[in-house]
Amino acid sequence: FGAYDPQALLDASWAGIPAGSEFPGFDFTPGAEFWALLPVFVVITLVGGVKNIGDSVAMQGASRRRPRVTDFRLVQGSLNTNGIGIFLSGIAGTPPTTVFSSTSVSLASLTGVASRNVGYVIGGAFVVLALFPKLPALILTIPSPVMGAFLLTAIALLFVAGIRTVIQDGLTAQKMLVVGIAFSLGAGVEHQTIFADLIGGTWGRLLDNGMLIGALAAVVMTLFLDLTSPSRGGRLQSKLHAASLPEIDAFVRGMAGKLGWNEASLDRLGAAAEEALMSLIPADQDVEAEEAPRLIIAVQPETGAIQMEFLAVFDEENLEDRLAYLDEESEGLQEGEISLRLLRHYASSVHHQKYYGLDVVTVQVKGSR
């Protein structure tokens, strides 16, 4: 049907050295054009970072056989790696590596292959393709309808992975509003020339990017909702030590008392705070309270509940994973797992985010007046 044209394959040589563009060199005297484009590149870099975080979270969900919570230490590593890749791409004058990160999520979901060793092999294959032009020419002869069907499947899988990431922590009215408006704006602006017709210039062309507009809308709306929240919480700085328990108990009970919670709800909140603290404290801790890691507790009232956020320097297994595995362990409880069972009993939800040098444990407790 004329859809396959092998002429480019026949014309390609069997071996050769890639002809790169001439290195432009460095210029440490930026002119007016540089300063005019700098805000644009700053915005694009921030949006690209947000996109990379989402890709990394979705990739963890797609690559694990057993569902586990997101390890934000890997997200940090991915963000750092992409930053270095973008920097090196800018020096070499090539497209940034972060452009292709979303495709990895779709490929992992489609093939079920997410091994790092496969990634190393693919990297070596790219080097081979660059040295033997006949091979990439063979790939480029794939008819457009065939490639279109593949891209349609990949985009569909990526969309599902994004939706799964959004709903994994539950949907609230605020989250649905932010996601819905951001997605609608991004989809509406994509492939249009709205801003180019209104303001023109470089800013107009860049603002017609759907990903940029959608991400900016999500960030701005999230900040606005946080700043205008009618329920302002409190914050306490303490130590990750059992001696801090009375201070923490008085703090969380005081916040709940302002909401008019009854005595049973106050007891449940205090018990959840105690078990969260004891679950974070290392079993072999043998230091004075003054030498213990710093602990920050943020309390935020919500509708019919209170959310407590524990921020501490800690490096152990994720509490969410340990809570999930408790049902699979019928005997032989280790020290500290009783606290985890009690925490799961008192709290309506527990989330644990691990970063390098920082752990964030979020506990939500429902109460009544």
Task: Note down pLDDT in tens along the chain; length 369 residues.
Answer: 566 767 777 777 888 777 766 666 777 777 777 777 777 777 777 777 777 777 777 777 777 777 666 777 788 888 888 888 888 887 777 777 665 566 676 677 667 777 778 878 888 888 888 888 888 888 878 787 888 887 788 778 777 777 776 776 667 778 888 888 888 888 888 777 777 777 777 677 777 777 778 878 888 888 888 777 665 678 888 888 888 888 988 988 888 888 888 888 888 888 888 888 887 777 666 667 677 778 888 888 887 888 888 888 655 555 555 445 444 444 443 444 445 566 667 777 777 777 766 777 888 888 877
pLDDT at position 327, please?
A: 46
pLDDT at position 102, please?
A: 61
Which residues, including other chains, have CB under 8 Å from residue 13's CB and lie 6 or more apart? 133, 134
pLDDT at position 47, please?
A: 74
* Residue 105 is assigned to a structural domain of this protein: yes
| Residue 254 tokens, joined | 């005081």
Domain final position from 133, 154, 170: 170
* Residue 1 is assigned to a structural domain of this protein: no
**45 plus 132 within the same structural domain:** yes
- The domain in which residue 213 lies consists of 171-228
**269 plus 341 within the same structural domain:** yes
* Rg of the Cα atoms in the chain: 26
| Residue 234 tokens, joined | 């409190």
- Indicate the DSSP class of residue 1: -
**44 plus 164 within the same structural domain:** yes
Q: What are phi and psi of 362, to 5 degrees?
A: -110, 120
**211 plus 283 within the same structural domain:** no
Q: pTM for the whole thing? A: 0.55
The answer to whether 342 and 278 have CB atoms below 8 angstroms apart is: no
**105 plus 211 within the same structural domain:** no
* Residue 2 is assigned to a structural domain of this protein: no
| Residue 66 tokens, joined | 């057993």
Tell me which residue of 269, 249, 273 sits closest to 259, measured CA to CA.
269
- Give the whole-angstrom CA distance, residue 143 versus residue 2: 10
**219 plus 357 within the same structural domain:** no
**245 plus 326 within the same structural domain:** yes
- Supply the CATH number for residue 314's domain: 3.30.565.10
The answer to whether 193 and 149 have CB atoms below 8 angstroms apart is: no
- Indicate the DSSP class of residue 333: P
pLDDT at position 333, please?
A: 38
Question: How many structural domains is the chain composed of?
Answer: 3
pLDDT at position 69, please?
A: 67
